[in-house]
């Protein structure tokens, strides 16, 4: 049921803060026995191309991201999908594009506010995620300038943007398996069936770093999430977190694996991968 991920030049549908793109394939393999997976914190959906399941519920409180995914999938109609793809293909890595996008997003703070089309809304968020420095997606941070490389150590943002736009049609194929929601995990997880055919991939905001997200994740949120996940006995549960004493305490009795990964600045950072014991 998986679309060939090699066709994608991009590792994420949206460039997102705290992305799991470098480890997504390994994490997805832990859910290979499932036929349905729920993702409470969709983010940039890096794991999606690596999942072999038939059905996926991708959820995120960030309605900007969910609107983007719905438009890419074609849920707002072929015309909206085509408009988005065409806009992205014509977008330049330029401050004027960012100013226009940020101005539009100011009108979309609430999911019920629709003074512009869903496609324009989706384009504006795509710009905010991809034109500035990597990892700004999903955050409260203000963006004003594109990412500009001033040495020869890697590719440039202009060519990257072309690749990102060209990948949208392939992401749309992956999204055919997905149903998209934008609700709190407290409303989502109780609906997930505790069955051996079901799985949950939980890449929640990390302790501390979670404050940077559009929707802050508080200490009590971490505790309530752990409580919700504890009810599953048959379903596969895969959790990714940054290493923190609170997380180790909340998931005592679970199987915790220590992993090294890279942060937004390409430095090494400690991760915890948590599964049922």
Decide if pLDDT at 265 tops 60.
Answer: no
Place of tokens 């934008």: 182
- Classify burial at 160, counting beta carbons within 10 Å of its beta carbon; exposed 0-12, middle 13-18, buried 19 or more: buried
Q: For 230-252, how does the pLDDT look when each residue is reduced to its tens digit (9 = 90+)?
A: 999 999 999 999 999 999 999 99
Q: What is the mean pLDDT of residues 55-74?
A: 97
| Mean predicted lDDT score pLDDT of the chain | 87
Q: Are 61 and 183 in contact (CB under 8 A)?
A: yes
Mean pLDDT score, 85-93: 94
Question: In angstroms, what is the C-alpha Rg of the chain?
Answer: 18
Residue pair 80/118 in contact by the 8 Å Cβ criterion: yes
With both helix axes pointing from N to C terminus, report the angle between 118-130 and 95-105 in degrees, rounded to the nearest 10: 130
Distance CA 65, CA 105 (A): 12
Tokens coding 170: 């392939």
DSSP classification of residue 204 = P
Please enumerate in sequence order all residues whose Cβ is within 8 A of that of 75, keeping only pairs 6 or more positions apart, or say none.
180
For residue 172, name the pLDDT band (cuts at 50, 70, 90).
very high
DSSP SS3 for 157: helix
C-alpha to C-alpha distance for 277 and 274, rounded to whole angstroms: 9
**Which tens digit of pLDDT belongs to each residue from 36-47?**
999 999 999 999
> Looking only at Cα atoms, what is the longest distance across the chain?
52
Q: How many whole angstroms separate alpha carbon 157 and alpha carbon 139?
A: 20
CATH for 5-272 is: 3.40.50.150
- Sheet containing 255-262: give its strands across: 178-181, 55-59, 36-39, 198-202, 236-242, 268-275, 255-262
C-alpha span between 122 and 207 (Å, rounded): 29
Rounded to an integer, what distance in angstroms lies between the CA atom of residue 255 and that of residue 186? 23
Mean pLDDT, rounded, for 100-116: 69
- For residues 65 and 137, the answer to whether their CB atoms sit within 8 Å is yes
| Spatial distance between the Cα atoms of 101 and 106, rounded to a whole number of angstroms | 9
pLDDT band of 116, cuts 50, 70, 90 = low
pTM: 0.89
2: nearest Cα among 49, 46, 69: 49
Signed CA dihedral, 257, 235, 207, 127: sign only? positive
Residue 29: per-residue pLDDT:
98
Q: How far is CA 250 from CA 187, 205, 213, 219, 271, in A?
A: 20, 15, 22, 11, 15
Pairing of strands 178-181, 55-59: parallel
Q: How far is CA 126 from the centre of its chain?
A: 12
Q: Which DSSP letter does residue 182 get? A: -
Least confident range from 45-59, 139-153, 183-197, 258-272: namely 139-153
H or E stretch covering 236: strand 236-242
């Amino acid at each position: 049921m998986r679309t060939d991920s090699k066709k994608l030049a991009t590792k994420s549908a949206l460039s997102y803060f705290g992305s799991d793109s470098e480890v997504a394939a390994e994490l997805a393999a832990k859910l290979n026995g499932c036929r349905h997976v729920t993702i409470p914190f969709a983010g940039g959906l890096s794991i999606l191309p690596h999942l072999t399941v038939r059905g996926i519920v991708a959820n995120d409180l960030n309605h900007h991201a969910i609107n983007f995914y719905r438009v890419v999938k074609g849920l707002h109609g072929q015309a909206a999908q085509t408009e988005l793809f065409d806009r992205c293909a014509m977008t330049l890595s330029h401050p004027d594009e960012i100013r226009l996008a940020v101005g539009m997003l100011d009108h979309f703070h609430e999911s019920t506010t629709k003074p512009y089309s869903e496609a324009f809304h989706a384009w504006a968020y795509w710009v905010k995620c991809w034109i500035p420095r990597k990892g700004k997606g999903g955050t409260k941070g203000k963006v004003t300038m594109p990412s500009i490389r001033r040495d020869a150590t890697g590719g440039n943002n202009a060519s990257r943007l072309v690749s990102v736009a060209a990948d949208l049609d392939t992401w749309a194929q992956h999204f055919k398996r997905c149903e998209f929601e934008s609700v709190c995990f407290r409303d989502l997880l109780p609906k997930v069936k505790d069955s051996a055919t079901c799985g949950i991939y939980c890449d929640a905001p990390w302790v501390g770093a979670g404050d940077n997200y559009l929707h802050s994740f508080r200490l009590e949120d971490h505790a309530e999430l752990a409580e919700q996940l504890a009810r599953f006995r048959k379903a596969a549960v895969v959790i990714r977190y940054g290493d923190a004493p609170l997380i180790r305490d909340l998931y005592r009795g679970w199987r915790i694996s220590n992993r090294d990964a890279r942060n937004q600045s390409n430095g090494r950072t400690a991760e915890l991968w948590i599964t049922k014991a």
